[in-house]
């Protein structure tokens, strides 16, 4: 049976822990960047239901749109621009409770109210960012930052070896 990655009865932390346990076996034998990130976006969508989940990939001096689940989005983001470009430039996760209050936020979708961006860092270099948008305010907090950071570390170990 295909996995559903749905955990309706679990609170946020427990849901992340179960998700990471269930999902890691799906990436251990595959190391292709686009393929692994595509399944990661799909599995996160199943587990958490946020309306936009995806990756922007570092290519030269810009981020380009990578695998995602959700509405069509902007193709390219320059370093230091928007939430994604800031996470890249600072090599740190950005938790944005209200996107309208983030200077320079790039509105790919008018539905986005809050956002989290977590960099994928391999050997000190940002290779991609995980970007998640929610249609409600203040969806993300330190619990999301913590567990998505763990997930991104696993992804890096797997695809940027």
Binding site for ligand SME (CB under 6 A): 52, 73-74, 77, 82-85, 105-106, 108, 112, 115, 131, 133
Judged by CB, which is closer to ligand SME: 35, or 75? 75
CB of 84 to ligand SME, least distance (A): 3
In angstroms, the CA 118 to CA 147 distance is: 10
Could you tell me which of 24, 74, 78 has the C-alpha nearest to residue 52?
A: 74
CA dist 58 to 121, 146, 155, Å? 11, 22, 15
β 52-59/62-69 pair status: antiparallel
Judged by CB, which is closer to ligand SME: 108, or 121? 108
CB of 115 to ligand SME, least distance (A): 6
CB of 132 to ligand SME, least distance (A): 9
Judged by CB, which is closer to ligand SME: 33, or 133? 133
**Dihedral class, residue 133 (left if φ above 0, else alpha if ψ from -120 to 50, else beta):** beta
Q: What angle do CA 108, 113, 114 make, to 5 degrees?
A: 95
Judged by CB, which is closer to ligand SME: 74, or 150? 74
In angstroms, the CA 141 to CA 125 distance is: 24
Q: What angle do CA 22, 135, 40 make, to 5 degrees?
A: 25
CB of 152 to ligand SME, least distance (A): 16
CB of 105 to ligand SME, least distance (A): 5
Judged by CB, which is closer to ligand SME: 130, or 158? 130
């Amino acid at each position: 049976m295909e996995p559903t990655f749905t955990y309706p009865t679990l609170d946020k932390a427990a849901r992340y822990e179960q998700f990471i346990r269930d999902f890691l076996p799906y990436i251990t034998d595959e190391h292709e960047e686009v393929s692994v990130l595509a399944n990661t976006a799909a599995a996160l969508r199943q587990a958490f239901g946020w309306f936009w989940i995806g990756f922007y990939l570092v290519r030269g001096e810009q981020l380009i749109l990578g695998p995602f689940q959700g509405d069509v989005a902007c193709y390219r983001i320059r370093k230091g621009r928007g939430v994604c470009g800031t996470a890249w430039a600072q090599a740190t996760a950005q938790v944005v409770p209200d996107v309208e209050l983030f200077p320079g936020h790039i509105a790919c979708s008018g539905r986005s109210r809050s956002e989290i961006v977590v960099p994928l860092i391999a050997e000190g270099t940002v290779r991609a960012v995980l970007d998640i948008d929610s249609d409600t305010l203040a969806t993300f907090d330190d619990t999301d930052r913590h567990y998505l950071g763990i997930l991104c570390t696993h992804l890096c170990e797997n695809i940027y070896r």
